Amino acid sequence: MDLLTKVISIATTQIGVTEDPPGSNRGYSVEQYLKSVGLGSGYSWCASFLYWCFQKAATDLEIKNPAIKTGGVIDHWRRAPAKAKITAAQARKSPDLVKPGCIGILLLDAHTGAGHTFIVEKISGLRLTTIEGNSNNGGSREGIGVFRLDRRKLTDSILVGFLDYSRV
């Protein structure tokens, strides 16, 4: 099994994990995600969730984890290797560049640098099915759990791009 397939497999097992109490950025699993990047409880955890999935997949496959160890979405984008990056413009021009297991990066507020991130599970035309940590059914970046969502599009104006760690 390749890394990205394994990441999706692991992320899928986490769908339904929720914060305890809801809205707290806490709970056993959430704290494991945060711990994987060296953070304590209470922080936003969408990026930590992705790193945790990649770390678990890499460990299971007995390979080095190529994902950047960070709890910051935009920090992840900035520090990722250039060959892993697919800009939003490139993805819109060539949607076939985006594949299951890619990490999507959203910039929600350019002034504060607030972002949100997700794993692409499936792509159909310009529409994405995603697995997102610290989200909810509405797709919030400050949600309550891990959700499978079908609302992201390659045409979203807040899309920065994707990271494809199979290219590294």
Give yes or no for residue 138 having a pLDDT over 80. Answer: no
65 in helix, strand or coil?
coil
What percent of the chain is modeled with pLDDT above 90? 90
Q: How confident is the model at residue 113 (pLDDT cuts 50, 70, 90)?
A: confident
Contacts of residue 45, Cβ cutoff 8 Å, sequence gap at least 6: 25, 30, 33, 34, 39, 71, 133, 134
Segment 23-40 mean pLDDT:
97
CA atoms of 96 and 110, how far apart (whole Å): 28
Domains of the chain: 3-167 (3.90.1720)
Give the chain's mean pLDDT.
95
